[in-house]
Amino acid sequence: MELLGKTALVTGGGRGIGRSCALALARAGAQVVVAARTTTEIEEVAKEIEALGCRALAVSLDVSKLQSVEAAFQQVVEKWGGCDILVNNAGIAASAPIAKCSEELWLQIIEINLNGTFRCIKAALPTMLARNWGRIINIASIAGKAGAPYISAYAASKHGVLGLTKAAAQDVATKNITINAICPGYVETDMGEKAMNIIMSKTSASKEQARAALEQTTPQKRLFQPEEVAFLVVALASPLAAGINGQAINICGGAVPY
């Protein structure tokens, strides 16, 4: 229970990677703020955490809106004094070749994936700076290190998250606050399911063939599990991870060696 006494906030915490991170942080001793737009989902995850004997708080949060971010973090300050650990997991993915990527789609992806991460970091830092301790973990993607067809907007947003991670980590390096990123390959979540559906809609592939296509993107020939990402989140949140700062750590089975 090395995170006992710490407060963690997980954006996009209602399902997939976010849900697994929220539960893993609770099991490590943290009290957890589960934040997302869909109230029913975050309330359900909060109940799961409470069933473990841990404290949880469901907070409505839309990372694309500054007012929503500020209100959510203020609610956490009033309830529990602010957060010590921030997991920036909220994000969206959509595919279109660059010639067909509308400005609306481009701006939407950048707004949520990159600008939303920036807003949450800014909102979390005052408490962390006052306490002289903090852990910020940004869920990026292998797409933040390597490009692929049809995902120009998504890849650009995740490359941006890595740049933000590396630079912001330097700003707080002497404050006992670390900022790191995790870069998963395809994970078995709703977003992974959506990727399979896109392959099926654009080709004659079956569900099994679409899944196999995603599995071929890694030498391990498999999809990754949300719990694998959550494991690394808890490790990076640990007091023993103080020397890991400004890093972008892959969970890709060796697909990208940098």
What are the residue ranges spanned by the domains of the chain?
7-185+225-247, 187-223
pLDDT tens-digit series, residues 23-78:
999 999 999 999 999 999 999 999 999 999 999 999 999 999 999 999 999 999 99
Which structure tokens are listed for 73?
């973090």
Q: How many Cβ atoms are within 10 Å of 214's Cβ, its own excluded? A: 18
Q: What is the reported pLDDT for 104? A: 97
Q: What is the reported pLDDT for 238? A: 97
As a whole number of angstroms, the distance between CA 103 and CA 124 comes to: 30
pLDDT beyond 90 at 202:
no
pLDDT beyond 90 at 90:
yes
Q: Which residues contact 134 (CB under 8 A, 6 or more apart)?
A: 84, 85, 86, 124, 125, 127, 128, 172, 175, 176, 177, 178
Q: What is the reported pLDDT for 163? A: 98
The structure's pTM equals 0.96
Which structure tokens are listed for 68?
């929503």
Q: How many Cβ atoms are within 10 Å of 139's Cβ, its own excluded? A: 28
As a whole number of angstroms, the distance between CA 41 and CA 218 comes to: 31
pLDDT beyond 80 at 109:
yes
Q: What is the reported pLDDT for 207? A: 83
Percent of the chain past pLDDT 70, that is, above it, reads: 100
Which structure tokens are listed for 230?
């959550």
Q: What is the reported pLDDT for 244? A: 98
- Helix or strand or coil: residue 127? helix
Q: How confident is the model at residue 185 (pLDDT cuts 50, 70, 90)?
A: very high
Instruction: Residue 11: name the closest of 158, 112, 97, 110 by CA.
Output: 112
Q: What is the reported pLDDT for 85? A: 98
The CATH classification number of 7-185+225-247 equals: 3.40.50.720
Q: What is the mean pLDDT of the chain?
A: 95
Match 């950048």 to its residue by tokens.
110
* pLDDT, average across residues 188-210: 82
Positions marked catalytic: 154
pLDDT beyond 80 at 3:
yes
pLDDT beyond 90 at 197:
no
pLDDT beyond 90 at 199:
no
pLDDT beyond 90 at 200:
no
Q: What is the reported pLDDT for 208? A: 87
Q: What phi, psi does 87 have (nearest 5°)?
A: -110, 110
Match 């990527």 to its residue by tokens.
101
